[in-house]
Amino acid sequence: MKTGESGEMVKALSIIKEAEHSLQMLFNELEEIAYANQVRVIEAFHKHRVREYYFYPSTGYGYGDRGRDALEDIFADIFGAEDALVRSQVVSGTHAISACLFALLRPGDELISLTGSPYDTLCRIIGHEEKSPGTLIDKGIKYSEVDLDERGKPDLTAIAAAIKDTTRMVLIQRSRGYKTRPPVDLETIAVITKLVKARNPTTIVMLDNCYGEFTAVQEPGHYGVDIIAGSLIKNPGGGLIPSGGYIAGNKDLIEQLAFHLTAPGLGKELGASLLDKRIMYQGLFLAPHTVLQALKGAVLLAYVFEEHGYEVFPRWNEKRSDIVQAVKLRDAAEVLRFCQEVQNASPVDSDVTLEYGELPAYRDKIVMAAGTFVQGSSIELSCDAPLRSPHCVFLQGGLSYEHCRFLLQRLLDNFLLANA
């Protein structure tokens, strides 16, 4: 019997169509957010009069790279900032965040994480969990955390008590990371920012924006956050940008960061764009639409898995502030089965067999399903999970809703209905 004619596939498609019917109003709301963001991107392109010659690469020192400079101006406008750095030389979102921390903090300064323990890779940079050379702790930076409240949300009372005259910077992680807590929405970010500034106006509010871009009609910079950082192979790259990171924020902070990334006195004027900048502009242009595809796919999967008795974070009808969809499974073996289905549904390396393995800067062994065109791209449909309890998978991305739908059909056939 051919694929598509089996009873299981017919049943899976019927379940998906019923879910889509129930989700139509929510899909419409997500499409309105995408439209608002698309208009915002287009207007930024118009404001800065993007020209075809902006797309050409530059060499050497990179002096006079008008395309690079215009792209950074566009990013600054879109993300509600005064200035920005958008560079392929920044190798990841973690690198972008690390650059902010090392550029803006001095020995004796205090850094406070306001959303509990940060993502695994950042913990290694801070150095509070294990002694290691070159970390913030090793360089004399003081570090503390404010735990989340019992609902998994920022504890505003504890935050107010933690901010002191000596607090140089606070860090907010917008996305959930490898946790089931909700992402931090923009309204809460605005409240935290006002609270911090009321306690100490000189404290820098820094935000890890990874996975959150274009999930709402504005960005954290519009709510007073001093500096944000993220990855170009996540939301703002639209699935096209092959590498890089961005940092957007107050002009004086961006200048310090530029001196850190190059050398004092050199700054933003240096840095050749060795990549064809066409895909950087085009990726940003497509980003609102691509994020919409990922969000619709995440909502659909959450709805169907919840209907089949699984605990999902967020629930299908909860407000979303990032593109990550977590699903709680029974054990490590079931996590591996789920991730294998994601890999098998991928356009690249679909026949690869997954297993847990070590990755640099992660606490635990990790399994990653990532049959992506860009290595490590998490705006492409992908899934990963640490080998620890609770046993959750963290699904994100999707260049097309149709790909997300295809994956769910496979999960129904080979996972949900097979388990029933």
Q: Which residues contact 402 (CB under 8 A, 6 or more apart)?
A: none
CA 17 to chain centroid: 29
Indicate whether 183 and 34 sit together in one domain: no
Q: How many residues does the chain have?
A: 420
Structural domain contains residue 293: yes
CA distances from 118 to 122, 261, 284, 377, 388 (A): 6, 23, 27, 20, 16
Residue ending a domain, choose from 232, 250, 283: 283
- Say yes or no to pLDDT of 2 above 70: no
User: Which residues constitute the domain of residue 217?
Assistant: 50-283
What is the per-residue pLDDT across 295-338, written as a single tens digit (0 to 9) for each? Answer: 999 999 999 999 999 999 999 999 999 999 999 999 999 999 99
Q: Note whether 328 and 390 are within 8 A (CB).
A: yes
- Side-chain half-sphere exposure of 172, counting CA atoms within 13 A: 31
Structural domain contains residue 45: no
Residue ending a domain, choose from 216, 250, 283: 283
Indicate which CATH number applies to the domain containing 147.
3.40.640.10
Indicate which CATH number applies to the domain containing 397.
3.90.1150.60
Indicate whether 271 and 138 sit together in one domain: yes
Over residues 246-270, the mean pLDDT reads 95
Indicate whether 214 and 314 sit together in one domain: no
Pull the structure tokens for residue 361: 């800067």
Q: Which residues contact 387 (CB under 8 A, 6 or more apart)?
A: 332, 356, 364, 365, 366, 367
Q: What is the pLDDT of residue 3?
A: 47
Domain total in the chain: 2
Q: Which of 118, 248, 137 is nearest to 184 (CA)?
A: 118
Indicate whether 234 and 294 sit together in one domain: no
Q: What is the pLDDT of residue 6?
A: 64
Indicate whether 108 and 254 sit together in one domain: yes
Share of the chain above pLDDT 90, in %: 90
Tell me the pTM: 0.95
Query: Rounded CA gap, 1 and 104, in Å?
Result: 63
Q: Where are the beta strands (DSSP E) in 306-347?
A: 311-313, 325-328
Q: Which residues contact 419 (CB under 8 A, 6 or more apart)?
A: none
Which three-class secondary structure state does DSSP give residue 171? strand
- Say yes or no to pLDDT of 1 above 70: no
Query: Rounded CA gap, 339 and 65, in Å?
Result: 42
